[in-house]
Amino acid sequence: MKNNWWKGLAVVLLLYVAAAGLLMPVPRLAILNESIRNLYFHVPMWFGMTAVLTASVYYSVRYLRAPTPQLDILSHEAAKTGIYMGFVGLATGSIWAKYTWGAWWTNDPKLNGAAIAMLIYGAYLVLRSSFQDEQQRARVSAIYNIFAFAAAMPLFFILPRLTASLHPGAGGNPAFAKYDLDSNMRLVFYPAVIGWTLLGFWLAQLASRVAFLKQKVYDKQLA
């Protein structure tokens, strides 16, 4: 219980974000209107995804230094959670785009970069499922995971800034300059980022623990 305080924090922050995200004052901007509140839900998905994928790479590196099945499970489940959050980020962004830019998808460098990065991570799952041997699977997917992270992060956060883009935080724009002026939004946005990120770690932890249990039961049956 002592080690679970961060789960309580996640619950409080997410409930706060659900209420404050809809009720707190936001800047009155044309086109965006109330949809500016999506900032509290769409953007934290990407923050959470980045944090969980970073954890996944951390476990992959540790696996390659000193291989254990646990590290492989932790890295795999973290990567899966990150991929889930990334797809939720794409879906929510698509809805937001439809009602502000007028299309579900535009050939914007930020959008296409994110889509390519998600495909790179999709290949991680395909690669993993194509091995019979457990140790080979763990080793090769740990290596691929590091390369996937190194390829995906510039696609998400660096390349879109080098060209013109509609998306805030791309095309040379500092990410939140337009909204950051409003300190009311910060009161919700920062707790939202922390809350959703913690939820991502919580889900990854639960998935890993189920996988540990499965492995233990399997080992016992073999013994």
Partner 1 sequence: MKRGRVMRIVTLFIALLLPVLRAAAQTADQPEMADALRQSGKIYVVVAVIAVVLAGLLFFLISLDRKISRLEKEVRD
**In contact, 9 and 191? CB cutoff 8 Å:** no
**In contact, 52 and 78? CB cutoff 8 Å:** yes
16 binds partner 1 (CB under 8 A): yes
Could you give the 3-state DSSP secondary structure of residue 214?
helix
Nearer to partner 1, 25 or 102 (CB): 25
**In contact, 68 and 136? CB cutoff 8 Å:** no
Q: How far apart are CA 63 and CA 80, in angstroms?
A: 17
> Among 103, 177, 181, 206, which residue sits at the site for partner 1 (rule: CB under 8 A)?
206
First to last CA, the chain: 32
**Residue 67: φ, ψ to 5°:** -65, 130
> Among 163, 186, 190, 216, which residue sits at the site for partner 1 (rule: CB under 8 A)?
216
131 binds partner 1 (CB under 8 A): no
7 binds partner 1 (CB under 8 A): yes
29 binds partner 1 (CB under 8 A): yes
- Please give the residues from 174 up to 203 whose contact with partner 1 meets the rule CB under 8 A: 184, 187, 202-203
Is the dihedral angle over the CA atoms 168, 93, 111, 33 positive or is it negative? negative
- Please give the residues from 32 up to 61 whose contact with partner 1 meets the rule CB under 8 A: 33-34
Residues that bind partner 1 (CB under 8 A): 4, 7, 10-12, 14-16, 18-20, 22-25, 28-30, 33-34, 184, 187, 202-203, 206, 209-210, 212-213, 216-217, 220
